[in-house]
Amino acid sequence: MATESDILFLSATIITGDESVQPFVADLLVSNGLIAKIGDPGSVDAPASARRIKAEGYYLSPGFIDMHAHSDLYLLTHPEHEAKITQGCTTEVVGQDGISYAPIQNRDELTAIRQQIAGWNGNPTDEECQTKLNGVGMFEWQTVGEYLDCLERNRTATNVAMLVPQGNLRLLAVGPCDTPATEEQIQRQVQLLREGMEQGAVGMSSGLTYTPGMYASTSELAVLCKTLKSEYPGAFYAPHHRSYGLRAIESYAEMLQLGELTGCPIHLTHATLNYSENKGRAPELISMIDQSIGKGVEITLDTYPYLPGCTTLASLMPSWASSGGPVEALKRLQDPEIREKIRYAIEVKGSDGGHGIPVHWDEVQIGTPSDKSIASYAGRRLGEVARSENRTSIDVFFEILQKDKLATSCLVHVGNEENVQQILKHSVHMAGSDAILHGEALHPRAYGTFPRFLGHYARELALVSIPEMVAHMTSRPARRLSIYPHRGLIAEGSAADIVVFDPETIKDMATFEEPKLPSQGIRFVLVNGMIALDEGKMTGIRAGKTLRRLKDGRVVGGKGQ
């Protein structure tokens, strides 16, 4: 059974998550959602009714924390959450990349957001919300607090914290177009930020290659960061910055300078250096980060352990083509002259949506279209589709955008392995999957992020030890989220978010061809003391809590911790 109140793990090798503590063998008792007792093997008393699990030779660690999750809707539409539970993830941070489903002021804004990020989370129809999802309360919220209330009512599989999406703030205060914000509009964004923070958000995110958040100036962002710093101790800013391609280093510099200027903690999300133009440039970025840290700025970062990125196909367009929102973007795609301008920006000049670098269509792997007439494109390289049909790649690109109403995701194969390896060894590195869960042609990071960090980069490549890598995925992010030591640490009195895995066999199994294969080597996953994965099998238990920031800066789950 998966609902025991008391569980005793026998002779497990404890990896506490604390980087200063060496692994040790112990018995560990879980009771009432907490770690009740840790002691030498044979020394821990447990009720006769307690489930006893032999764990000799297995590592027992804190549950893994995903610092960059796109599960905002999937927590409600696919609540068992197989992708995350089977890889040991027990806590997630949503509201990423500057755009999410709250806050909003009216249905038109929500409709535009649902269309814009349908490739990330899908977009259930109103009929589906009233039938298949009846009782969930889909899209009945407006504020951050109401969205978190909806998650709490429905019981999530993982614990969930949320960032206030800066793109939403700009949409609500300025609108969807590329116009400078007035002082009044900036102050309106500040007020919206305050409301989201006071309703439980742990910080703010940006998506500065996505409309409309990308239209914000550095000075506009600085006002918001100053508010976080001065009014919400422990909160942080998590920017997806302006370029991961041609101007990647300059874009990182802008974010680091924001931290230096405002004093706001900066969390560099999916801190990659992609494209051939950035090959071998990780030492430059690391030096910049270390310099900012040396000036007293609180800098952290997360990465995913793969080379390709994942986004929406529509995001490859220049920002001017998306100005005004999805409806206006689709209108532009009907105009031959505008289409030619978009083609030139994407294929010749390099658009801001493509990080300043001309798109190579054989690097772009199509996600899962909703339109059945182009369903055969799923999982294929866009250039290959064009050649097979004797068409131009840009024509296929426009066809997908129009038929799927901008909702198709894509993988972009542009990473640099040496950069990935060097960045993940940094002392402020954490794990973030950046996983889009919607569709069939997924990025394998949706199912494999945490086991790949442990199995490939720690065990096979020995870039860091497995216990150290566990810290990257547990205590480090827990400190960033202000939930440590209640989470992210194996200690008496801490929440029983636990993963039990075999250090010799843990391995990501998901591939680009079969992206939904669960990882191997994970025996048990507990969320708040409830078994969500039992001997590698999903139980369907949903024991997660919404993690909300209180006025004193503590972040707690529900009404407690």
Using the predicted structure, report yes or no on whether residue 197 has a pLDDT greater than 70: yes
SS3 label, residue 159? strand
How many CA within 13 A on the CB side of residue 352? 16
**Higher per-residue pLDDT: 352 or 382:** 382
Determine the distance from the C-alpha atom of residue 264 to the mean position of all C-alpha atoms in its chain, rounded to a whole number: 21
Using the predicted structure, report yes or no on whether residue 559 has a pLDDT greater than 80: no
Token pair, residue 145, equals 């607090």
> HEC states along 85-130?
HCCCEEEEEECHHHCCCCCCCCHHHHHHHHHHCHHHHCCCCHHHHH
Q: Which helix (H) or strand (E) holds 300?
A: strand 299-303
Tell me the average pLDDT of the chain.
96
Using the predicted structure, report yes or no on whether residue 1 has a pLDDT greater than 50: no
Residue 497 phi/psi, 5-degree rounding, is -90, 110
Q: Which helix (H) or strand (E) holds 38?
A: strand 34-39
Which residue is associated with the tokens 């990501």?
Answer: 508
Q: What is the pLDDT of residues 62-118, one digit of tens each?
A: 999 999 999 999 999 999 999 999 999 999 999 999 999 999 999 999 999 999 999
> pTM for the full model?
0.94
